[in-house]
Amino acid sequence: MLAAGYTAWVRRRNARLRRPPVRGPDGVPYRSRRMIYSDGAEVSYLDVGAGVAVVMIPGADGMKETFRYQLPSFARCHRVIVADVRDCFSPEDTFDRLADDVAELMEERGVESALVVGQSLGGAIAIRLATRYPERVTGLVVVNSLTHMTIEHMGLNRTGLIPLAQLATRYLPTDAARLLSDVWSRAGVWIFDNSPGRANIIEYALWTGPRTVPSAVSKRRVDLFRDVDLRLELPRIRVPMLVVRGPRDSYMPPGWWEEMLAGVPGAHCVEIPETGHCSHVSMPGAFNHAVLAWIAGEREDASRWRGGEI
């Protein structure tokens, strides 16, 4: 009875949490807007900056705020659009629904094509978007992402420590969860890493990420991907592609990003040193510099990619 009461209290606490707004360089929060998809599902999105369009896709937790450290930098020279991943699904929905949502968002915002950045599950959505709507995608950046799911990397981290870190983060009092998060960071468990920017990950986990998204919602998004294998689609990608990886990522085995590099002609890879699964959160300066530099260089070659010369 006591345990049930505590669990109910925690769920109410987490439901009341409000993610910190994404702020521009001037400290003023960006304006959040709402969109209704063709099937009636509603999401919140941001559309900031001006220039060549960049569309960002969050991972399984699905909140646009995961890119809070990217929007101010990218919006200096790009128009950046990012929406929450939907949390409402019908029994008929497949993984294609998530790619269709991105295409609908671009249509709604009057964007014919864009460079697409996807993190974790968002990278898989970006790959499906590029093969399902090739005319919409001018380039791909996939961050600590995957093309299929296997059990090849199951071990103590996956079967024991990650579930423990998830439960502790979601259900312990905030001060206790923060103390344990330091332990998870030093051990490189779950989304945590031991990079110089690990405090960003801890604050993200407590106030922006898993606590504000019910586990059933993120699981439903992942379930849509469980039987999908994008490896056969990789050779169909005919736009520049950058694979970004954190060398301490406990989710993604090295073989997974190697498959992406082998599958997409001319794909490049960059490591964000000392980071894990959320390189864009823990070391945003290094991440932003690497991706923006690649975008600037690849824009010059985009037409040759389209013509099949590279």
Is residue 141, in this structure, part of any structural domain at all? yes
Residue 299: the pLDDT is 58
Is residue 223, in this structure, part of any structural domain at all? no
Is residue 237, in this structure, part of any structural domain at all? yes
| Residue 254, domain extent | 27-153+229-306
Q: In what order do the strands lie in the sheet with 241-245?
A: 33-36, 42-49, 78-83, 52-57, 114-119, 137-143, 241-245, 268-271
pTM of the model: 0.92
Q: How many CB atoms lie within 10 A of CB 96?
A: 14
Label residue 177 by pLDDT band (50, 70, 90): very high
Is residue 288, in this structure, part of any structural domain at all? yes
Can you tell me the mean pLDDT for 55-68? Answer: 97
> Taking the CA of residue 64 as centre, how many other CA atoms within 13 Å lie in the half-sphere pointing to its CB?
24
Label residue 167 by pLDDT band (50, 70, 90): confident
Structural domain total, the chain: 1
Mean pLDDT for all residues in the chain? 89
The pLDDT tens digits for 257-282 are 899 999 998 999 999 999 999 999 99
The pLDDT tens digits for 100-154 are 999 999 999 999 999 999 999 999 999 999 999 999 999 999 999 999 987 765 4
39-62 burial, b if ≥16 CB within 10 A, otherwise e?
A: eebebebbbbbeebbbbbbbbbbb
Q: In angstroms, what CA-CA distances link 166 with 12, 211, 233? A: 17, 9, 32
CATH number of the domain that 296 lies in? 3.40.50.1820
